[in-house]
């Protein structure tokens, strides 16, 4: 094992991609990069990372920011709870921990939005703690390297892999070891075409030795995404449109969008939608458009009617704001809302 780990470390030092968060030991920057990179490709995350640490260079500046500014900077990345949790955690560090970022695997996990992987990454990259950082890529590499047959989603798999990697790390620099495992998963040991002939782990890899690359990792079938039906109205009066801020819970919380009715079927018409808000006065229908928006666990089939009112004095609902388009575009918006408003 010791020789394989040395080969892995040498390979990483020679072959790894040069990424800005790998040039720092600052736990704040590492934390920001790790949260951005959850569910996001490096190529896309890079620009967001540069912008984020440019605008909020340290935990103090993030804690002092308005949540809306943080969400605006995050716009387009999706999974907005990540941004809300970053903001919440920065205030927790400033208000409860004296401004000092926690420095151990256990303590880092206390921050909102930080799970086992992120805590392991920060603890090892910033503080050198010998604890594994197991993301989706490392799970695949680990399952193949150690020949693990448990379901990759299961607790049993996670526990076993954690313990095996922790033992293997005894021979390594924690930062280099974890980064190298992530790098192997991202660049060499791909889901369908692992390049075993150039892999630094090849000499010790059970899947390669037994030709089990296709069988490992074992994964239970993916659930089909749920279908949801969203009915929006863009109500315009002159240069002003109605927008609402989404509630504290659920997807896209605190982002802004046009008034929405969530239906259970695909066949709602405009009368049914307007009736839910009690809008009965004369409305001019200027157009309508449908959108399909894919999230990880749900497919949103959205329809938006573009409406014009001669007067807005009768259209009043809790939380509705009348704003000009530029003002709406300056608010934090989800991607579906961006598509809908750009169509207007
Ligand atoms: S040897 Fe092949 S299967 Fe094993 S870790 Fe490397 S790329 Fe993956």
Domain segments of the chain: what residues? Answer: 2-209, 226-343
Task: Tell me if 216 CB under 6 Å of ligand 1.
Answer: no
Closest CA to 88 of 115, 69, 63, 109: 63
* Tokens matching residue 316: 């009043």
Backbone φ and ψ of 297, nearest 5°:
-110, 5
* Weakest-pLDDT range from 114-123, 156-165, 278-287, 328-337: 278-287
The CATH T-level fold of domain 2-209 is: Endonuclease III; domain 1 (1.10.340)
Give the confidence band of 314 by pLDDT, cuts at 50, 70, 90.
Answer: low
Ligand 1, closest atom to CA 196?
Answer: 2
202-214 residue pLDDT tens:
999 999 999 999 9
CA of 73 to the centre of ligand 1 (A): 38
Query: Using a 6 Å cutoff on CB, does residue 205 contact ligand 1?
Result: yes
Distance 17 CA to ligand 1 centre (A): 19
Q: Is residue 183 annotated as part of the catalytic site, yes or no?
A: no
Rounded Cα gap, residues 234 and 61, in angstroms: 36
**pLDDT-based confidence at residue 315 (cuts at 50, 70, 90):** low
* Alpha carbons within 13 A on the beta-carbon side of 133: 30
What is the distance in A from the centroid of ligand 1 to the CA of 226? 34
Q: Which residues contact 34 (CB under 8 A, 6 or more apart)?
A: 21, 117, 118, 121, 122
CATH class of 226-343: alpha beta
Taking only the tens place, the pLDDT of each residue in 16-28 is: 888 999 999 999 9
Catalytic residue among 34, 129, 183, 257: 34
For residues 108-117, average pLDDT: 96
Residue 235 has pLDDT above 80, yes or no: yes
Task: For residue 43, give every residue at least 6 positions away whose Cβ sits within 8 Å of its Cβ, in sequence order, or none.
Answer: none
Q: Region 237-254: what's the mean pLDDT?
A: 90
For ligand 1, the distance from its centroid to the CA atom of residue 185, given in whole angstroms, is 9
Please tell me the distance from the alpha carbon of residue 17 to that of residue 253, in angstroms, as a whole number.
Answer: 35
Ligand 1 pocket test target in 140, 145, 181, 193 with most atoms within 8 Å of CB: 145
Question: Average pLDDT, whole number, for the chain?
Answer: 92
Average pLDDT over residues 160-178: 95
What is the per-residue pLDDT for 153? 92
Index of the ligand 1 atom closest to the CA of residue 202: 1
**What is the number of the ligand 1 atom nearest to the C-alpha of 213?**
3
Interval between CA 212 and ligand 1 midpoint (Å): 10
């Amino acid at each position: 094992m010791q020789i394989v780990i040395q080969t892995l470390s040498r390979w990483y030092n020679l072959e790894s991609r040069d990424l800005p968060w790998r040039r720092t030991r600052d736990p704040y920057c590492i934390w920001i990069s790790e949260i951005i990179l959850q569910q996001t490709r490096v190529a896309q995350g890079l620009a967001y990372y540069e912008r984020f640490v440019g605008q909020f260079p340290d935990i103090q500046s993030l804690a002092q920011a308005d949540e809306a500014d943080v969400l605006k900077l995050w716009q387009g990345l999706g999974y907005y709870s990540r941004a809300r949790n970053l903001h919440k955690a920065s205030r927790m560090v400033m208000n409860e921990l004296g401004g000092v970022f926690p420095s151990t695997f256990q303590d880092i996990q206390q921050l909102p939005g930080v799970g086992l992987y992120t805590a392991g990454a920060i603890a090892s990259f910033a503080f050198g703690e010998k604890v594994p950082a197991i993301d989706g890529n490392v799970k695949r590499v680990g399952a193949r390297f150690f020949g693990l047959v448990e379901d990759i989603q299961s607790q049993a798999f996670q526990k076993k892999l954690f313990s095996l990697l922790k033992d293997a790390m005894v021979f390594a620099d924690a930062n280099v070891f974890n980064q190298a495992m992530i790098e192997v998963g991202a660049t060499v040991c791909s889901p369908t075409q692992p390049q075993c002939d150039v892999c630094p782990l090849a000499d010790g890899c059970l899947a390669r030795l037994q030709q089990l690359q296709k069988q490992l990792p074992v994964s239970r079938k993916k659930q089909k995404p749920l279908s949801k039906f969203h009915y929006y109205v863009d109500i315009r009066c002159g240069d002003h449109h109605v927008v609402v801020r989404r509630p504290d819970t659920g997807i896209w919380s605190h982002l802004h969008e046009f008034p929405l009715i969530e239906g259970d079927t695909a066949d709602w018409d405009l009368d049914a939608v307007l009736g839910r808000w009690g809008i009965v006065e004369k409305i001019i229908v200027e157009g309508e458009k449908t959108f399909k928006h894919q999230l990880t666990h749900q497919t949103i089939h959205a329809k938006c009617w573009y409406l014009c009112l001669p007067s807005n004095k009768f259209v009043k609902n809790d939380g509705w704001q009348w704003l000009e388009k530029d003002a709406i575009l300056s608010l934090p918006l989800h991607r579906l809302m961006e598509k809908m408003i750009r169509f207007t």
